[in-house]
Amino acid sequence: MRAVLQRVTQASVTVGDRIVGSIGSGICVLVGISQDDTQDDMEYIARKVLGLRIFDTSSGMWKASVQDAKLEILCVSQFTLYGKTTKGMKPDFHSAMKSDRSRQFFDDFVALLGRSYCAEKIQTGEFGAMMQVALVNDGPVTLQLDSRKFS
Protein backbone atom coordinates (compact mmCIF):
# COMPACT_ATOMS: atom_id res chain seq x y z
CA MET A 1 0.00 0.00 0.00
CA ARG A 2 1.26 3.44 -0.84
CA ALA A 3 0.26 6.91 0.22
CA VAL A 4 1.37 10.41 -0.61
CA LEU A 5 0.73 12.62 2.38
CA GLN A 6 0.61 16.40 2.04
CA ARG A 7 0.28 18.88 4.88
CA VAL A 8 -2.37 21.38 3.80
CA THR A 9 -4.09 24.55 4.93
CA GLN A 10 -7.10 23.45 2.87
CA ALA A 11 -8.03 20.75 0.38
CA SER A 12 -11.10 19.66 -1.55
CA VAL A 13 -12.28 17.11 -4.10
CA THR A 14 -14.76 18.01 -6.80
CA VAL A 15 -16.64 15.65 -9.11
CA GLY A 16 -18.37 17.53 -11.88
CA ASP A 17 -19.99 20.53 -10.19
CA ARG A 18 -20.13 18.93 -6.71
CA ILE A 19 -17.62 19.28 -3.89
CA VAL A 20 -17.61 15.75 -2.46
CA GLY A 21 -14.98 16.28 0.25
CA SER A 22 -13.40 19.32 1.81
CA ILE A 23 -11.13 20.05 4.78
CA GLY A 24 -9.36 22.97 6.40
CA SER A 25 -5.95 22.49 8.01
CA GLY A 26 -4.71 18.93 8.09
CA ILE A 27 -3.46 16.38 5.60
CA CYS A 28 -4.48 15.29 2.13
CA VAL A 29 -3.66 11.62 1.57
CA LEU A 30 -3.54 10.04 -1.88
CA VAL A 31 -4.00 6.29 -1.34
CA GLY A 32 -2.77 3.56 -3.68
CA ILE A 33 -3.66 -0.10 -3.14
CA SER A 34 -1.76 -2.99 -4.72
CA GLN A 35 -3.02 -6.48 -5.56
CA ASP A 36 -0.93 -7.92 -2.72
CA ASP A 37 -2.02 -5.58 0.07
CA THR A 38 -3.32 -7.04 3.32
CA GLN A 39 -4.74 -5.84 6.62
CA ASP A 40 -1.14 -5.44 7.87
CA ASP A 41 -0.37 -2.98 5.05
CA MET A 42 -3.54 -1.06 5.83
CA GLU A 43 -2.71 -0.83 9.53
CA TYR A 44 0.87 0.27 8.83
CA ILE A 45 -0.24 3.14 6.57
CA ALA A 46 -3.01 4.16 8.98
CA ARG A 47 -0.52 4.34 11.88
CA LYS A 48 1.80 6.50 9.79
CA VAL A 49 -0.96 8.80 8.54
CA LEU A 50 -2.23 9.40 12.06
CA GLY A 51 1.11 9.42 13.86
CA LEU A 52 3.69 11.22 11.71
CA ARG A 53 4.76 14.42 13.46
CA ILE A 54 4.60 16.93 10.63
CA PHE A 55 2.95 19.85 12.41
CA ASP A 56 4.55 22.58 14.49
CA THR A 57 3.61 23.44 18.05
CA SER A 58 4.55 26.26 20.37
CA SER A 59 7.47 24.10 21.54
CA GLY A 60 8.96 23.66 18.07
CA MET A 61 8.82 22.27 14.57
CA TRP A 62 7.78 18.69 13.71
CA LYS A 63 6.28 18.07 17.16
CA ALA A 64 2.63 17.08 16.50
CA SER A 65 0.72 14.59 14.38
CA VAL A 66 -2.61 15.29 12.70
CA GLN A 67 -4.18 13.40 15.60
CA ASP A 68 -2.29 15.39 18.26
CA ALA A 69 -3.30 18.67 16.63
CA LYS A 70 -6.92 17.49 16.13
CA LEU A 71 -6.84 18.42 12.44
CA GLU A 72 -8.68 17.01 9.43
CA ILE A 73 -7.83 14.33 6.85
CA LEU A 74 -8.90 14.12 3.20
CA CYS A 75 -8.34 10.65 1.68
CA VAL A 76 -8.40 10.20 -2.09
CA SER A 77 -8.14 6.81 -3.77
CA GLN A 78 -5.34 6.95 -6.36
CA PHE A 79 -4.60 3.73 -8.25
CA THR A 80 -2.02 5.56 -10.37
CA LEU A 81 0.42 5.39 -7.44
CA TYR A 82 1.05 1.85 -8.73
CA GLY A 83 1.73 2.94 -12.30
CA LYS A 84 4.90 1.48 -13.80
CA THR A 85 6.66 3.57 -16.42
CA THR A 86 9.75 1.46 -17.12
CA LYS A 87 8.63 0.14 -20.53
CA GLY A 88 7.27 2.31 -23.28
CA MET A 89 5.34 5.52 -22.83
CA LYS A 90 2.02 4.19 -21.53
CA PRO A 91 1.85 3.59 -17.76
CA ASP A 92 1.11 0.02 -16.66
CA PHE A 93 -1.34 -0.25 -13.76
CA HIS A 94 -1.47 -4.05 -13.42
CA SER A 95 0.04 -3.92 -9.91
CA ALA A 96 -2.93 -1.91 -8.62
CA MET A 97 -5.74 -3.85 -6.95
CA LYS A 98 -8.77 -4.24 -9.23
CA SER A 99 -11.60 -1.82 -8.50
CA ASP A 100 -14.12 -4.40 -7.26
CA ARG A 101 -11.78 -5.33 -4.37
CA SER A 102 -10.02 -1.99 -3.91
CA ARG A 103 -13.25 -0.08 -3.25
CA GLN A 104 -13.89 -2.21 -0.14
CA PHE A 105 -10.22 -2.04 0.87
CA PHE A 106 -10.25 1.76 0.61
CA ASP A 107 -13.53 1.99 2.56
CA ASP A 108 -12.03 -0.28 5.24
CA PHE A 109 -8.93 1.94 5.40
CA VAL A 110 -11.04 5.07 5.89
CA ALA A 111 -13.12 3.27 8.54
CA LEU A 112 -9.91 2.22 10.35
CA LEU A 113 -8.75 5.85 10.40
CA GLY A 114 -12.15 6.86 11.78
CA ARG A 115 -12.08 4.24 14.53
CA SER A 116 -8.49 5.12 15.44
CA TYR A 117 -9.05 8.87 15.41
CA CYS A 118 -12.32 10.72 14.76
CA ALA A 119 -14.62 9.77 11.88
CA GLU A 120 -16.09 13.28 11.69
CA LYS A 121 -12.66 14.73 10.84
CA ILE A 122 -12.17 12.46 7.81
CA GLN A 123 -13.43 13.26 4.32
CA THR A 124 -12.97 11.35 1.07
CA GLY A 125 -13.22 11.77 -2.64
CA GLU A 126 -15.61 9.66 -4.72
CA PHE A 127 -14.16 6.25 -5.48
CA GLY A 128 -13.82 5.53 -9.21
CA ALA A 129 -14.87 9.00 -10.33
CA MET A 130 -12.86 11.51 -12.31
CA MET A 131 -11.96 13.91 -9.52
CA GLN A 132 -10.37 17.32 -9.33
CA VAL A 133 -8.25 17.63 -6.21
CA ALA A 134 -7.44 21.16 -5.08
CA LEU A 135 -5.15 21.89 -2.19
CA VAL A 136 -2.86 24.44 -0.63
CA ASN A 137 0.28 22.57 0.42
CA ASP A 138 1.60 23.98 3.69
CA GLY A 139 5.37 24.18 3.83
CA PRO A 140 5.40 22.54 1.36
CA VAL A 141 5.45 19.23 3.19
CA THR A 142 4.95 16.09 1.08
CA LEU A 143 5.88 12.57 2.17
CA GLN A 144 5.74 9.22 0.38
CA LEU A 145 4.68 6.17 2.39
CA ASP A 146 5.02 2.56 1.29
CA SER A 147 4.01 -0.34 3.52
CA ARG A 148 6.46 -2.65 1.75
CA LYS A 149 9.48 -0.39 2.32
CA PHE A 150 10.00 -0.47 6.06
CA SER A 151 13.45 1.15 6.10
pLDDT digits (tens, 9 = 90+) for 87-145: 999 999 999 999 989 999 999 999 999 999 999 999 999 999 999 999 999 999 999 99
pLDDT the model gives residue 150? 63
| Three-state SS at 95 | coil
Query: Hey, which residues are catalytic here?
Result: 78-80
Beta-strand relationship, 18-23 and 2-15: antiparallel
This model's pTM is above 0.85: yes
For 16-131, strand residue ranges (E) read 18-23, 26-32, 55-57, 60-64, 72-77, 122-124
Q: Average per-residue pLDDT in the chain?
A: 96
Query: Given a cut of 90, is residue 149 above it in pLDDT?
Result: no
CA-to-CA separations, 47 to 28, 29, 44, 51, 117, in angstroms, rounded: 15, 13, 5, 6, 10
* The dihedral sign for the CA sequence 150, 52, 71, 11: negative
